[in-house]
Structure 1
Amino acid sequence: MFWNEVYKGTPPWDLDRPQPAFQAVIQSGEIRPGRALDIGCGRGENAIMLAINGCDVTGIDLAENAISDAKKKAIERHVNVNFIVGNVLHVDWLFREEEFDVVIDSGLFHVMKDEERPVFTRQVHKVLREGGKYFMLCFSDKEPGEYELPRRVSKAEIELIFSPLFDITYIKDVIFDSLLNPSHRKAYLLSATKSDLNSAVSSPHGECLL
């Protein structure tokens, strides 16, 4: 499996610290103690940070190697995080509806295929409580390498995918830190709140979203 192979080594995004953009969200008080899901958590640095700051945290990732390492890391740091292996496109198989107060996504959305994006958005919407927050960090279209992976994402793309089911608070320019060119990769941070179910019944293209 591809992602397991990736985590046999150290991929560029696998820092030994949380992403600065999420540290800033914690420091600003935008994320407060509550039930949190780190979706595509990798080896767990962001999830562990949430737990240290008072959240009841679950981290989910498809890569068994990453989850195994995240569990060891949490034990070594004496932090309680529920790390599980699972497919982020089927999180409703693993969690109750409206189970979480906040969901964070560090570099997951920008690796998804076009057809996976609306599925993923519905999954995040289902597991967030009414008024719950979603924070997403992705490479922006301002980052050089338009045709390289991970994909560069525009503000327009983010709005198109998320606005049917979420009220967008902001899409701001931030840095996606990595082992390649540290502290210089251009990114967007999305802050969005789960919309009222009654107002989120279809996409701009007429697709059923619920």
Structure 2
Amino acid sequence: MKVFGKNYAMVYDSLYKDKDYEKECNFIETIFTKRSENIRTILDLGCGTGGHALILAKRGYEVVGIDRAKDMLKIANLKAKQKDLTMNFIHGDITDIDLQKKFDAVISMFAVMSYQTTNVALAGICSVAKKHLVPGGLFIFDCW
């Protein structure tokens, strides 16, 4: 499935420059605090250019981001380097990837779930989240 063209990555951050990633990460951390005391590792499904992943990494979480758009990941890696953050951004399909690793939380923000065009894809993301969560881990996503 191809949702966005190659040039979208180049203008993505400009298009959403008014998006308040900090505030959204504050909300995510509020959920972490209310539901668990042990969130240290996060898997970001559909990380794009790293908006949430980079902020959460800067706040001390170990974050791995996955996206199918290589151009978005190039930008995410560049931003991580500029912020002197060691990040792991992986090119892959969030509907069926298996990293052979567990995380305390899985996030999928900015309507990534809404971009899925089939029930199979939605179920795939949920399955990937479940597969990568420690027992009692959290899966946080938004949609519109």
TM-score interval, normalised by the smaller of the two chains: 0.7 to 0.9
The correspondence for 1:112, drawn from 112, 116, 128, is 116
Q: Which residue of 1 aligns with 2:100?
A: 96
Deviation for aligned residue 1:4: 4.7
How much has 1:43 moved relative to structure 2? Answer: 0.4
Q: Which runs of 5+ in 2 are unaligned?
A: none
Partner of 1:68: 74
Supply the distance in 2 between the matched residues of 1:3 and 1:46 (Cα, whole angstroms).
20
CA contact (8 A) 1:33 1:56 kept: no
Identity %: 24
What is residue 143 of structure 2 aligned with on the other side?
A: 138
Once residues 43 and 3 of structure 2 are traced to their aligned partners in structure 1, the CA distance between those partners, rounded to angstroms, is 23
Considering Cα pairs closer than 8 Å and 6+ residues apart, tell me whether 1 or 2 has the greater RCO. 2
The alpha-carbon deviation at position 109 of structure 1 amounts to 0.6
Q: Flag the structure with higher strand content.
A: 1
Larger Cα Rg: Structure 1 or Structure 2? Answer: 1
* Structure 1: gaps (5+ residues): 140-210
**Structure 1 residue runs of 4+, over 6 Å off?**
none
* Letter aligned with residue 25 of structure 1: I
Structure 2 equivalent of residue 3 of structure 1 = 4
Q: CA deviation at 1:21?
A: 2.8
How much is the aligned-residue C-alpha RMSD, in angstroms? 2.3
More helix as a share of residues: 2
Query: What is the count of residue pairs matched by the alignment?
Result: 136
**2 CA distance for matches of 1:72 and 1:16?**
20
Is 1:40 equivalent to 2:46 in the alignment?
yes
- 8 Å Cα contact 1:22/1:46 also seen in 2: yes
TM-score normalised by structure 1 residue count: 0.58
Task: Tell me the TM-score normalized by structure 2.
Answer: 0.81
Separation in 2, partners of 1:136, 1:55? 18
Does the CA-based 8 Å contact 2:47-2:66 persist in structure 1?
Answer: yes
Q: Give the aligned partner of residue 192 of structure 1.
A: none
